[in-house]
Structure 1
Amino acid sequence: MTYASNNTPEGYITSSGTRSIAAGAITGLAITGDAHLTVLSPEALTPVESLNAPPRLTNIPPRNRLFVGREREIEQLNLEVNSQYAPRITVIHGLGGIGKSTLVANWAVDVTHKPAWWIAADSQTSIRAGLAEFACALQPSIANSLPQQALTERAISWLSSHENWLLVLDNVTDPSDINLITSRVKHGLIVVTSRRTTGWHHVDSDIALEALSTSEAKDLFAAIVNPKSKQSDVAITKLCAELGELPLAVEQAGAFCAESGISADEYLELLATHPAATYRNGPEGTHADRTVARVWNITLDRLADDPVSTLLLHVLCWYAPNSIPRSLVDKVSDAPALTKARGRLAAHSMISIDPESQSINLHRLVQAVGRTPDPMDQYRSKNLIASARSIALRHLKLALSGDLLEPGNWPSWRAIIPHVSHLADYSSPSEDCEVLCSVLSSAGMFLVNQGQFGEARRLLERSITGFSRLFGSVDVRTLQARITLGAALISLDGPAKTLPYVNRVLKDAEKYLGNDHEATLSSRNNVAYAYMWTGQPKRAIPLLKETIASRERTGDEGLEILVCRLNLARAYRDLKDFDTSLTITTSILDEAITTIGEDHPFIISIESALGGIYHETREHRKALDIQKKCLRDSEKLLGKSHPETLAAQNNLAASYSMIGNERRGLKLTEKTLKDRERVLGYLHPDTILTRNNFAAALLQTGNRTVAKHLFIQNLAECKDVLGPNHPLTRATETVLSLLR
């Protein structure tokens, strides 16, 4: 309360009370208390509709001299600029470090839209602050006249009432944060960069940014390092591939090499020996959050409230980067939590999900970092990474638990094998556990069944080393892997060189497992098969009969006994006992149709053997019809590159030659030779057989000189791979003696 008093000397007015005012007269505004008085300049009252932006107003970052590639994305952005529709909102989304901001900055420099304004938009607070700065740039005189809220509103109002401007919202983390702009603007062009891949249904277009091509990544690396350093092109290519062509990683590697004076080879060595430190260390002046080791932590921070997301990501890091089946992660957590985690990782560009197969993909460098423990990183503790690896292993073992001889299981097994190989490649052999060795053994057995002997050998040898270290060389698990390896080596190294190995394994199996153990029976069949391939069917027949008898004693009526009986029929055919061979083969065919069904791939093997017998008995037309059917069925069930399909193709080519259609036989034999060299290898026994057939077909069609040269070349290969006593070796020697 304020009281005025007249009891004062003449000419004076007094007042009393808190914050009272004494005045003879007040003609303006008098304020007491804590109020803030803002005096607006006349410019602040200018309507935004009539406010013109300063000429060439822009804060777009300068062009990056290291920018490479992205022609397709720039063309798409240019189409947005020239669109007749307004407003246009385009989102560039992708993994952190993929180059979203760099792309937009380099494109925006050349855009004629003005003003062109760049806002760091990682939160709504940042967006409002950026808009306020834009309002001040439009009218510098109002910078100190209005609060931020009013400046933000003024900026949005200006954008809503003007055309031909560009607004870049960089690094948006939540699509809803930009609604305060997009819900009101009528014209102009908005370009958004974000790690988020979802939530953009309200925008006009989106561009998913991928890694650079190999050539672009190499150009980027070369632009950074000193050209006088004489970097190896092969090493640069390998380094860029190791970094997954991720721009941030390539730039970090190039800058580090340039600063420290090391080569791409030396940087690769650092990655191999000290991965955590190499991912963490950039060149001098690099902010820690902009290194490969930390760039994705921003995203993981946003997912920190969901531990399943972090665990799922680390499990995925142990698989191959592409086409990861959902079955390999479906036990990470319960279905609702897993679905949520998968969706959140995809929404933040850490993974992508194929819309058709629902398989998962992620960048290989995300995997490399995620597999590398770093005590300085809360998301990469040694325990978390080890736990994720164990979970991945359990999923792989479960995925390979089905019957590998059942064709219905083959598609899923084929999808799993690359992930087995990848986990093994990035695990230390000295630390292989029983589960991993078991997975490698199962995968190797499947690959032998599929005719992929090279990769089978690699996985099986790793499995044998691990099992031997854990349980000894004659443990049943080790012996089973050794037996399977023997089957692969017959095809890879040739039966002549492999015979000592498979005989040694058979002796160990009989001694430590017994004569009737399943592994022993498989081993005995391997030895018999090797004898057959080296032209010794008489030595194979007793082994096969003994194996069949053992299986009959145990009541085995499955595929294994049918395979042994078919091998026995082939052995009799090699002895020229065609009647016995034909009787056994037709009996097997009838039994197999009843036992495993007429659509089973093994039926093709039986029918093909039947066709071979008809060739030997000179019933060529009957053989031709069978081989045509075998090739059709094999292509349908197994695919055009499967070894069984190539065998059917080889047999059909021989059938054409036998009936007098030499030209057609020559053409198909040449194709089969190329296919077998590509699929099986140059020195595979089947390839050598087809090469001999090709030489014979050339001779049959009058090309004596080329045929002789090919026979000479093939004779050396027959001796080396099949042995000097193999029928094909002797037959080749006979042909050459006649050609001399």
Structure 2
Amino acid sequence: MVTLPAEAVRWAQEVQAPPGAGNLPGSASGVFVGRTQELTTLRALLTDAGEAAVTQETRTRAIHGLGGIGKTTLALHYAHTYRRDYTLVWWITAETTEQIVTGLASLTMWLCPQWAMTAGVPERAAWALLWLQWHPGWLLVFDNVEDPADLRHYLGALPDGHHLATSRTATGWHTIAPTMPLGLLHAEAAVDLLCTLTFGAEHAPTSAQRRDAADLAADLGYLPLALEQAGAYLFETGTLLADYRQMLGRVMDAAAGGIDPERTIARIWHHTLTAIERRNPQAVTLLNAMAWLAPDAIPRTLLAAFCPDPLALGQALGALYAYNMIAYSADRQAINVHRLVQTVLRHQPAGSDGYPPGRQDAEHLIQRAVSAGNTDTLEWERLLPHVIGLAESKPAHSPTSIETADTYDAAAQYLHHQGREAHTIRLRTAALVQREQALGDTHPHTLASRNNLAGAYKEAGDLSRAIPLYETALAQSEQVLGDTHPQTLVSRHDLAWAYKEAGDLSRAIPLYETALAQSEQVLGDTHPNTLASRNNLAWAYRAAGDLGRAIPLYETALAQSEQVLGNTHPSTLASRNNLAGAYEAAGDLARAIPLYETALAQSEQVLGDTHPQTLVSRHDLAWAYKEAGDLSRAIPLLKTALVQREQVLGDAHPHTLVSRNSLAGAYEAAGDLARAIPLYETTLAQSEQVLGDTHPNTLGSRHNLAGAYQTAGDLARAIPLYETTLAQSEQVLGDTHPQTLVSRHNLASAYRAAGDLGRAIPLLKTALAQCEQVLGHTHPHTLASRNSLAYVYREAGDLAHAIPLLETILAQCEQILGDTHPHTLASRNNLADSYNDAGRVEDALALLGRVLAEYERILGEDHPHILAARNNLARARDAAAAVQQSDTATPATSPNLQLPSDAPEQPE
């Protein structure tokens, strides 16, 4: 009880506050972005949906959120914005009851100094309460309330104004006041704030600076105080945004100009952790462990291993939740921690054991979860982000644990078996680093880790990093384990594979041959690794255009895989798909397509719809349909394959580029150049960037884009691109490689289209002779070369050479490709035109009528080939008695350069 003198009571009734009175800390002129909606909501909550006048009824609201999220800033901005609507605005620091009493006492000192100078703190506080009871319409702001119960007396005693509280505490308010949780800034608002603070309001950041600001804002977790602290530091020191990101954990306690040293993020959270530790020491230990995991969706079951008593775990998490240091998922079975909280906690000093707080606990949590032998896919998917988070967050000088390296390997193997080897790079890297430090550079386990990391880079399409790692692993395996040790054989085999992927067949094939011979000798003729070596040597032969050696080897490999591994084993499925590819490369689509269909159906059933090997089978079957002229089945399947590869492998993965290139080829075959050309251009740009300027797939993309330009009549762009591609193919792949032959043939065709027969005829003769020698007389590429040469003879008026060639071509196309294949139709059309030129009108009319009917049935009403065929038939009928007619024949088609199909996964 406090007794006030009569004159003090009278002054409490009579003293009036001047207009706009208050003691607000700071002004409203600072940067305030991204909280307009929250300010509007707060006003509505305090004034019955925003009515202009303050009612006589009490209104109490509490803003709660993580330290540094902007609670005080929002309350201060509200108080400044609406201070003229209140008789008085009084700011009270409210961490303790003593501070609340002191804050009220200071109101008395401000309003009635003549009496307050002689009164004690309790009397002054009592006078302030009396004044507030006599003078309604005020706003009291209780900033940083630690215990909501501390406000209960004041809210009950002061009914005629507005109470606004801010607190790091989310719990304990349900009997005190309604709450308004304050979330993070939106990304754009956070970037705006950071740029304004860093560069000044008068300076517009460049696009590169804004991108860097966006990256830093994300690292800071869109936390307003962290953004303010960073902006002040960057403005004062001139530090680059990117450099600040590298120093992030070390500068969270740095107070630049305008930042109160006690208001840095690290200092604020240190005070919060001190308060939590007083309440529940185990909560801080638990938070330190969670700092080393992924920030989102930490399973409660994972933490239970650390804190097996459910009651104790609930109390520890409750203490963290009460101070907004964690958030719960919707079902409350997972925990989220702010990224910057983790960053600050990770930069605490290491203990005597060399581990920073919580690091060893986090490793033990993950080790226990993985060693439990849980093979449930759902549980693995919940656990994976935290295994990866642990791998990425290892401090530079923290002790090394072999058990943790084994954990990383176990997670990587799970991804490997899911067909997601390209996603294991971070895990494989961490395992290798741990083993190098613990076991040494040439320990067999270290060598295996190095080889596995190379494989992850290879699967991700990063051959520039994969090949040197493979070379190092092989050299060390030969030295440490011996030339024919099984692990050495795997390393040799994998290096050969990487060379082949890079288009370096001169190094790949001898290495494959050596690997196969040694595997047969050491492991036996039908060991799975021997089968893989045989299959991949066949693949290298096929890539070199040597189908005479490739197909028998593929057939042997498939037969052995079926016998040893079973009909639906993944390696058998890959062998089946690759044999189908070899048949297709030989022009034998009658055997290729059924084999592809079987391989796809089995892959979908055994491996799943989006497994990388299933995607390979789907793409290759779609391309075979396209080669057979069945675009109605090819295009939808290619679209599906592309979308799935983008989703599973990424937008610029080499296999995704193959799918994009193939879909463009199908659009071109359908006459849809408006979709084909942009897709080709995108694919070429990505191939140059990802694979390099002279990689075989890049050469294929460049060649196909040139072909599309030619089809569109843009020879000014087509011919230089063809010439570049041919020169690069001769240099990289060799003079008679199938891709080189196709490039030579199509460059000659472009010369012919440009009317340059002096360059076209010799080049076509060379191309035809080489195709016959390398690919055989009936290979589709050979047929296309023969067709183009005949067409050029015809254009030159040499029908004596043209017609016999065209008759041979048509007979071979009908026999090899089928009666309605696009190449067969083009050959029939061109032979008819040559008959027409030679005055054999009846023969020409018969063939042209058949061509038109087949085009209409297969391609649709408006396809360019149909229009040309219809035009040719009309001319032939109108000029049946003429000696010569104008030529508007459909040009002889050339095959699209087929990019290599994907290959089976390698054993590790």
TM above 0.5, one fold? yes
Residue 247 (structure 2) pairs with residue 271 (structure 1): yes
Residue 91 of structure 2 aligns to a residue whose secondary structure is strand
Shift of 1:210: 2.5
What is the identity, as a one-letter code, of the residue corresponding to 1:734? H
Deviations 1:78-136 (A, max 9, x none): 55576237544343333323443244335533421231111111123432332343355
How far apart, CA to CA, are the structure 2 residues paired with 1:672 and 1:637?
20
Q: Superposition pairs for residues 358-377 of structure 1, below 5 Å?
A: 360-374=335-349
Match of 1:91 among 44, 62, 65: 62
Residue 60 of structure 2 aligns to a residue whose secondary structure is strand
Residue 178 (structure 2) pairs with residue 169 (structure 1): no
Unaligned runs of 5+ in 2: 202-208, 465-499, 752-908
Residue 478 of structure 1 aligns to a residue whose secondary structure is helix
Alignment correspondent of 1:219: 196
Alignment correspondent of 2:671: 662
Residue 448 (structure 2) pairs with residue 481 (structure 1): no
Residue 268 of structure 2 aligns to a residue whose secondary structure is coil
Which one has more relative contact order, counting CA pairs under 8 Å at least 6 apart? 1
Alignment correspondent of 2:388: 420
Shift of 1:523: 7.0
What is the identity, as a one-letter code, of the residue corresponding to 1:302? A
Residue 502 (structure 2) pairs with residue 496 (structure 1): yes
Residue 59 (structure 2) pairs with residue 59 (structure 1): no
Contact map agreement 1:314 1:370 (CA 8 A) in 2: yes
Match of 1:549 among 560, 583, 587: 560
Alignment correspondent of 1:306: 280
How far apart, CA to CA, are the structure 2 residues paired with 1:167 and 1:204?
16
Distance change in 2, residues 1:283/1:562 (3 Å): same
Residue 247 of structure 2 aligns to a residue whose secondary structure is helix
Shift of 1:153: 5.5
What is the identity, as a one-letter code, of the residue corresponding to 2:384? I
How far apart, CA to CA, are the structure 2 residues paired with 1:181 and 1:194?
17
Distance change in 2, residues 1:138/1:703 (3 Å): same
Shift of 1:193: 1.8
Residue 357 of structure 2 aligns to a residue whose secondary structure is helix
Alignment correspondent of 2:316: 341
How far apart, CA to CA, are the structure 1 residues paired with 2:124 and 2:396?
60
Q: Superposition pairs for residues 157-236 of structure 1, below 5 Å?
A: 158-159=131-132, 162-183=135-156, 185-201=158-174, 203-204=177-178, 206-210=180-184, 213-222=190-199
Shift of 1:296: 1.0
Alignment correspondent of 1:565: 576
**Superposed CA RMSD:** 5.3
Deviations 1:692-725 (A, max 9, x none): 4444334323333344455456667767987876
Contact map agreement 1:90 1:207 (CA 8 A) in 2: no
How far apart, CA to CA, are the structure 1 residues paired with 2:616 and 2:212?
46
Contact map agreement 1:314 1:385 (CA 8 A) in 2: yes
Q: Superposition pairs for residues 247-326 of structure 1, below 5 Å?
A: 248-249=225-226, 263-264=239-240, 268=244, 271=247, 278-280=251-253, 282=255, 289-304=262-277, 305-322=279-296
How far apart, CA to CA, are the structure 2 residues paired with 1:297 and 1:328?
26
Residue 62 of structure 1 aligns to a residue whose secondary structure is coil
Shift of 1:483: 6.4
Contact map agreement 2:294 2:385 (CA 8 A) in 1: no
**What is the aligned residue count?**
685
TM-score w.r.t. length of structure 2: 0.61
Residue 388 of structure 2 aligns to a residue whose secondary structure is helix
Alignment correspondent of 1:701: 712
How far apart, CA to CA, are the structure 2 residues paired with 1:67 and 1:551?
71
What is the identity, as a one-letter code, of the residue corresponding to 2:388? V
Q: Superposition pairs for residues 369-518 of structure 1, below 5 Å?
A: 369-374=344-349, 382=355, 384-391=357-364, 393-394=366-367, 397=370, 402=375, 413=381, 416-417=384-385, 420=388, 423-424=391-392, 426-428=394-396, 433-438=401-406, 460=428, 463-464=431-432, 466-467=434-435, 470=439, 472=442, 474-475=444-445, 477-478=448-449, 481=452, 484-485=455-456, 487-488=458-459, 492=463, 495-496=501-502, 500=507, 507=515, 510=519, 514=523
How far apart, CA to CA, are the structure 1 residues paired with 2:394 and 2:342?
11
What is the identity, as a one-letter code, of the residue corresponding to 1:63? S
Residue 109 of structure 1 aligns to a residue whose secondary structure is helix
Distance change in 2, residues 1:489/1:630 (3 Å): closer
How far apart, CA to CA, are the structure 2 residues paired with 1:670 and 1:302?
61
What is the identity, as a one-letter code, of the residue corresponding to 1:683? L
Distance change in 2, residues 1:556/1:486 (3 Å): farther
What is the identity, as a one-letter code, of the residue corresponding to 2:182? A
Residue 144 of structure 2 aligns to a residue whose secondary structure is strand
What is the identity, as a one-letter code, of the residue corresponding to 1:109? H
Alignment correspondent of 1:736: 747
Match of 1:576 among 581, 587, 591: 587
Contact map agreement 1:214 1:240 (CA 8 A) in 2: yes
Residue 617 (structure 2) pairs with residue 606 (structure 1): yes
Residue 91 of structure 1 aligns to a residue whose secondary structure is strand
Shift of 1:59: 1.5
How far apart, CA to CA, are the structure 2 residues paired with 1:654 and 1:336?
63
How far apart, CA to CA, are the structure 2 residues paired with 1:436 and 1:393?
8
How far apart, CA to CA, are the structure 1 residues paired with 2:676 and 2:607?
31
How far apart, CA to CA, are the structure 2 residues paired with 1:725 and 1:353?
64
Shift of 1:585: 2.8
How far apart, CA to CA, are the structure 2 residues paired with 1:294 and 1:512?
67
Alignment correspondent of 1:130: 103
Deviations 1:553-611 (A, max 9, x none): 25584334323322232233223343443343344345456655779786564344333
Deviations 1:613-640 (A, max 9, x none): 33333444454565577678x4999699
The sequence identity of aligned pairs, in percent, is 26
Residue 66 of structure 2 aligns to a residue whose secondary structure is coil
Q: Superposition pairs for residues 40-119 of structure 1, below 5 Å?
A: 40-46=4-10, 52-63=16-27, 67-72=31-36, 73-77=38-42, 83-84=50-51, 87-110=58-81, 111-112=83-84, 113-119=86-92
Greater helix percent: which structure?
2
What is the identity, as a one-letter code, of the residue corresponding to 2:620? A
Shift of 1:322: 4.8
Distance change in 2, residues 1:307/1:737 (3 Å): farther
Unaligned runs of 5+ in 1: 1-35, 225-231
Distance change in 2, residues 1:366/1:721 (3 Å): farther
Contact map agreement 2:387 2:411 (CA 8 A) in 1: no
How far apart, CA to CA, are the structure 2 residues paired with 1:374 and 1:528?
57
Shift of 1:157: 5.6
Contact map agreement 2:418 2:611 (CA 8 A) in 1: no
